[in-house]
Amino acid sequence: MKLSIRTRLSLVFTGLSAALLILFGWTVYTLMASNLERELREDTQHDLTQVLGEFKKLPWEKFLVELDEESEEFSLTIQVVDNEGRSTYRTTGIAEWDWPVDKNVAARAAKGRIWSDAQIGDQDHLVLSLPLFPPGRPHHILQIANSRADKERILNQLIACVNIGTLIVIAAVAFAGHYFSKHALAPVEDIREAADHITASNLTERLTYDGPPDELMRLTSTLNGLLNRVQEALERLQRFVADASHELRIPLTGLRGTIEIALRRDRSPEEYKQALETALSESEHMSEMVSELLMLARGDAGAEKIEKTTVALRAFMENLTEEANALNAEGRVQIECAPVPDLSALFDEAKIYHALINLLENAIKYNKPGGRVALAVRHESDHITFDVSDTGIGLADADKKRIFERFYRVDRARSRQSGGTGLGLSIASQIARAHGGSLTVESRLGEGSTFRLTIPHIKNV
């Protein structure tokens, strides 16, 4: 059975209080009982001192008579037993069957003072027994008894008080626990209700809590932080969907326009061929964009697997330089690769290659005729850095911050003209992040840029 937090809190408080009270009651009872027993022994010792005083002063017969008077005056319960175990004196009013001689106790007392218990009449008594040696007579046993009735009454009253007190306190704690836990948990219920009302359509609303800076305040701000992140993610997604639709509409409109114009009247085979070539280039652009979008979406969803293998950097950079030269077939720029360290590193070769090709494409595309593109790789303590530098058009500070956003292009026309989708840097940055690394840029407008892809270097590869 699942209990609510409120019930569990009440039960824990009540159970704990009950256990503490029972422990307290038991301790008080034990202390009280041992104190009362000690007092009873002291009283009995005191009675004995008095009786022994008389014994020392008086001859035996007179002592027995004096015992009777003392018993009466100080309410003592005394018995004297002779060496054969017969009772020779018993306080007046106590019959033989009330306090029969315990031969075993008498025999042990003959060797010295002993304490024992006895039932005298209907009351439990503490009995002190010791040997007396009257001059010229065999030894006798003197027994002084003190009733435990008072002690038991006091203890019974104590038990009753502790029991009633315990019950009252447990009831009070149970009630208070229930009441205060309800009171304490009320803001949690308020927060839950408020959170329940937040949906995608009112995601700008936030939870409020006007209590002290306690756990609930922290819970509220954590939940609000979560809502902020969800809202940002949703807005990013909405922007992305809107941008993607918009970006796809441009080539689609172009494609449609080309076909419509071509069909408007009869045309020569050359004209049809040219229209089809334009349509092909638009559809290629669209298909490139769709596959890049798909890659980004898979990366966002964590579905794009990073398959790390040990890669020899020298061969890797050679391939990269070769492909960069192929991209620069017209020889617009000059491409160079700095000496590569003889090192192997662990990363997803295809993905890092893809990211660096995106950077190289840009470095060629956004360069000035006759400019330079430099490729370099460095190993620094725990990471590996790939630099792609160019002497191209560079970036303004405001653009530097935004170029990693999806579809952001400084010069939309120039990018599209050169076949850009506005997704290359987003993909490269996503690949770097998936490796636990980063992609950054240093750039000066009109002078050129350096894109730096850094990934952790995993040792012993």
> What number of chain residues touch ligand ADP (CB under 6 A)?
22
- Per rule CB under 6 A, is residue 357 in the interface with ligand ADP? no
Closest separation between CB of residue 279 and ligand ADP, Å?
Answer: 21
Which residues share a beta bridge with 442?
Answer: 450
- Per rule CB under 6 A, is residue 410 in the interface with ligand ADP? yes
For ligand ADP, the closer CB: 98 or 405: 405
| HSE, side-chain direction, 13 A CA sphere, residue 59 | 3
Closest separation between CB of residue 424 and ligand ADP, Å?
Answer: 3
Closest separation between CB of residue 343 and ligand ADP, Å?
Answer: 26
- Per rule CB under 6 A, is residue 411 in the interface with ligand ADP? yes
Q: How many other β-carbons are positioned within 10 Å of the β-carbon of residue 139?
A: 12
Q: Which residues, numbered 21-50, are part of the site for ligand ADP (CB under 6 A)?
A: none
- Per rule CB under 6 A, is residue 391 in the interface with ligand ADP? no
Could you give the CA distance from residue 90 to residue 64 in angstroms, rounded to a whole number?
10
From candidates 173, 363, 375, 431, binder to ligand ADP by CB under 6 A: 363
- Per rule CB under 6 A, is residue 14 in the interface with ligand ADP? no
Distances (CA, A) of 451 to 42, 255, 367, 387: 98, 34, 14, 6
In sequence order, the 6+-apart residues with CB closer than 8 A to the CB of 450 are 387, 388, 389, 390, 441, 442, 443
Phi, psi of 187 (to 5 degrees): -60, -30
For ligand ADP, the closer CB: 222 or 334: 334
Could you give the CA distance from residue 93 to residue 76 in angstroms, rounded to a whole number?
11
Q: Report yes or no: 73 and 92 within 8 Å, Cβ to Cβ.
A: no
Closest separation between CB of residue 395 and ligand ADP, Å?
Answer: 5
- Per rule CB under 6 A, is residue 403 in the interface with ligand ADP? yes
Burial pattern 190-213, b for ≥16 Cβ within 10 A else e, equals bbeebeeebeeeeeeeebebeeee
- Per rule CB under 6 A, is residue 393 in the interface with ligand ADP? yes
For ligand ADP, the closer CB: 34 or 417: 417
Closest separation between CB of residue 440 and ligand ADP, Å?
Answer: 13
Which residues share a beta bridge with 346?
Answer: 310
From candidates 91, 181, 362, 391, binder to ligand ADP by CB under 6 A: 362
For ligand ADP, the closer CB: 59 or 419: 419
Closest separation between CB of residue 421 and ligand ADP, Å?
Answer: 5
The packing angle between helices 149-197 and 5-57, to 10°, is: 170
Distances (CA, A) of 65 to 72, 81, 146, 175, 196: 11, 15, 21, 66, 95
- Per rule CB under 6 A, is residue 425 in the interface with ligand ADP? yes
Q: Report yes or no: 368 and 425 within 8 Å, Cβ to Cβ.
A: no
Name the segment binding ligand ADP (CB under 6 A); options: 125-133, 267-275, 326-334, 360-368. Answer: 360-368
Which H/E stretch holds residue 274?
A: helix 269-300
Phi, psi of 124 (to 5 degrees): -80, 135
Name the segment binding ligand ADP (CB under 6 A); options: 12-20, 161-169, 183-191, 416-424. Answer: 416-424
- Per rule CB under 6 A, is residue 390 in the interface with ligand ADP? yes
Name the segment binding ligand ADP (CB under 6 A); options: 2-10, 18-26, 89-97, 420-428. Answer: 420-428
Binding region for ligand ADP (CB under 6 A): 358, 362-363, 366, 390, 392-393, 395, 403, 408-411, 415, 420-426, 449
